[in-house]
Amino acid sequence: MVKSCCCASSAYYQLGYIYQDWGKYQPALDYYQQSLQLNEQLGKETNVADLWYNLANCYRQWGKYEQALEAQQQDLTIRQRLDDQPNISDAYYQLGRIYQAWDNYTEAIAHYEQSRKIYETLDLQQEVANQLSCLAACYRDSKDYTKAIEYYQSSLELHQALDNNKSAARRLRQLSNTQRLQTKNYSSQEAKALLQKAEQNLQQVIQLDTAGDYRQNLAYDQISLALLSAEHLRWLPEDDTSLPNHIALFKQYYTKGFAYFKELGQAVDKAEEALKIARAYLEISPLENLEQAETLAHQSLQTFQEFNCRKLEASAYKLLGEIYLARAHRQESGAIATACQFLNTSLQHYRELDLTEKAAEVEQLI
């Protein structure tokens, strides 16, 4: 009987994992719940805690943040009762991820810090480096680029000290991306100098990833190169002779990046990066191509709908609305109505997800 329950529990867990990976969150939750109930009957507290963690992760991906927090708190409570310090730290990390996804960066930072401190006490330096990166991502998302760069640099140095080239390359790329984003806050000369640093960092990244044949890293590297080329274009004068070269490189890099993602079977990651490329086609004058921006945005939207990525779906609708606002400036017939339709759909999604700042951004466009 016990063996039968264990087998059933494992089968339910595997089914939950498959459905979650597929973006079918309700059946995933149902199977995780069945596995959890069997493990409770068997008195397997560690397995019960693991399943609360999985439930929280599933709710977070689905954009149901309150339920995610409730499930993760259950996991944390069991870990604390068992005095399981590594998994207590992991639970705080998961809480940070939920708050970050919910755009509550203050709470996300607080929980990542709690996680980092426990890992420091346990001398788990690889995990410390990862938490420094999570903190950097929070500061980046909240547009505090100076602090984000500081934390990415600390994470990078620790990964390098641990001889973890794959993670070091990833941090160096994230550092380069943040430097690129920071240029928007600077004057032309300062921006160009920072873009040069970002490019130097990215070249180091590509050397590391090529040497290690880190295929997923290389996919993101190519997108980063494309966006860096686009940002160079933002600052170049209209008569600059290097414009055609940067435009050609932009397309060459992102096309190669998309090919890597397709080879790896990472449809959602590709779609998320495609939105960034679409935005470059919308916002950067030498690249402006509303048709290509719209094609990429629609393709991304379709993928997000297929995999039930609600937050990303909302961002795709927002971008499509902005593209049609740009069409309206060209006096295209019906563009305003279409823009409003896309933006209202985005607004509805953000409100359902309780993402108030994102909703406010859309409201300003309507």
Q: What is the CATH number of domain 84-174?
A: 1.25.40.10
Burial grade of 160 (CB within 10 A; 0-12, 13-18, 19 or more): middle
pLDDT value of position 92: 98
- Letter for the amino acid at 127? E
Distance of CA 286 to the CA centre of its chain: 27
Number of other residues whose CB lies within 10 A of the CB of residue 328:
17
pLDDT value of position 181: 93
pLDDT value of position 1: 46
Of 135, 100, 26, whose CA–CA distance to 355 is shortest?
A: 100
The domains of the chain are located at 1-82, 84-174
- Letter for the amino acid at 146? T
DSSP state of 182: H
pLDDT value of position 64: 94
Give me the helices (H) in the chain, please.
2-22, 25-41, 45-62, 65-81, 85-101, 105-121, 125-141, 145-161, 165-182, 188-212, 215-235, 243-264, 267-283, 290-306, 310-329, 335-352, 356-365
**CA–CA distance, 84 with 345 (Å, rounded to integer):** 44
CA distances (Å), origin 365, targets 58, 72, 82: 32, 36, 50
Instruction: Determine whether domain 1-82 maps to CATH 1.25.40.10.
Output: yes
| pTM for the structure as a whole | 0.91
The sign of the dihedral angle between the CA atoms of 94, 95, 100, 106 is negative
**Structure tokens belonging to residue 265:** 């079977």
Do the two domains 1-82 and 84-174 of this chain adopt the same fold?
A: yes
Q: What's the residue count for the chain? A: 366
Mark the ranges of the chain whose per-residue pLDDT is less than 50.
1-3
pLDDT value of position 7: 62
**CA–CA distance, 312 with 290 (Å, rounded to integer):** 20
Q: Which residue is it, tokens 């980063």?
A: 224
DSSP state of 191: H
| Cβ atoms 231, 178 nearer than 8 A | no
